[in-house]
Amino acid sequence: MKVREIIVVEGRDDTIAIQRAVDADTIETNGSAVNEEVIKRIALAQERRGVIILTDPDYPGERIRRIVSERVPGCKHAFLPKREAISKKGDDLGVENASPEAIREALKHVQQEMIQTEETITWLDLQAVGLVAGPMAKKRRERLGERLNIGYANGKTLHKRLQMFQISKAEFGQAIGQVLEEEQHD
């Protein structure tokens, strides 16, 4: 599988994992302190070929995603579920631990960042289905993120991603319906 866009990853081990899975070029941020030189390279890559951000499904990875996304508009995003990025020992979470199949699957479901002019899914919508408060909120957000291919996020970030990726109320309704149905069978 050849990927036209340049994939933004955190480090060298992530680049190796990506190249085992697909034919692609990467830019490494070298951790969560993304410097100006890296931002300039990512901006040039976005202008010339497009960019896909694929960072670890943890706090530092989300921080990098947010920094790059804010500084370089219009990026695409690929998300690995935590269960696909955990090391065999269970002590490390990262792209470098993902199988080639999991990486290819994440890249098949790339989401394009969009600028939304009006809010389609409100904060009250999230509250109504128990995504921002309550004992099942975290698990529901995790499952919803997987269904919509937008990754796990806290309530505020989930709301922002629903807007950024222009998830319609119909898509949201169908996905949360499936999540709630799964809950009944757990």
108 and 130 belong to one structural domain: no
* Contacts by 9-15, CB closer than 8 A, 24 or more apart: 9/54, 9/55, 9/95, 10/55, 10/56, 10/60, 10/61, 10/64, 10/94, 10/95, 11/96, 13/94, 13/95, 13/96, 14/54, 14/56, 14/94, 14/95, 14/96
10 and 89 belong to one structural domain: yes
**Structural domain range at position 83:** 1-113
Which span out of 99-103, 112-116, 180-184 was modeled with the highest average pLDDT?
A: 99-103
> According to the model, what pLDDT value does residue 116 have?
55
Choose one of 65, 88, 113: the last residue of a domain: 113
State both tokens at 170: 């119909």
Q: What band does 115 get if pLDDT is binned at 50, 70 and 90?
A: low
pLDDT in tens, 26-42: 999 998 889 999 999 99
Question: The pTM is what?
Answer: 0.74
CA dihedral 6, 7, 12, 16 (to 10 degrees): -90
Asked whether residue 113 carries a pLDDT value surpassing 90, the answer given is no
> In the structure, how many helices (H) and strands (E) does the chain have?
9, 5
95 and 148 belong to one structural domain: no
107 and 118 belong to one structural domain: no
Beta-strand pair 6-9/76-77: unpaired
> According to the model, what pLDDT value does residue 118 have?
54
pLDDT in tens, 131-150: 998 999 999 999 999 999 99
8 and 55 belong to one structural domain: yes
pLDDT in tens, 44-65: 999 999 999 999 999 999 999 9
Task: Measure the CA–CA gap between 7 and 57, rounded to whole angstroms.
Answer: 15
Task: Measure the CA–CA gap between 82 and 32, rounded to whole angstroms.
Answer: 18
State both tokens at 119: 């809010």
> According to the model, what pLDDT value does residue 164 have?
85
> According to the model, what pLDDT value does residue 112 have?
83
86 and 118 belong to one structural domain: no
26 and 65 belong to one structural domain: yes
CATH number at residue 58: 3.40.1360.10
90 and 146 belong to one structural domain: no
127 and 69 belong to one structural domain: no
6 and 51 belong to one structural domain: yes
35 and 58 belong to one structural domain: yes
118 and 90 belong to one structural domain: no
Task: Tell me how many domains the chain contains.
Answer: 2
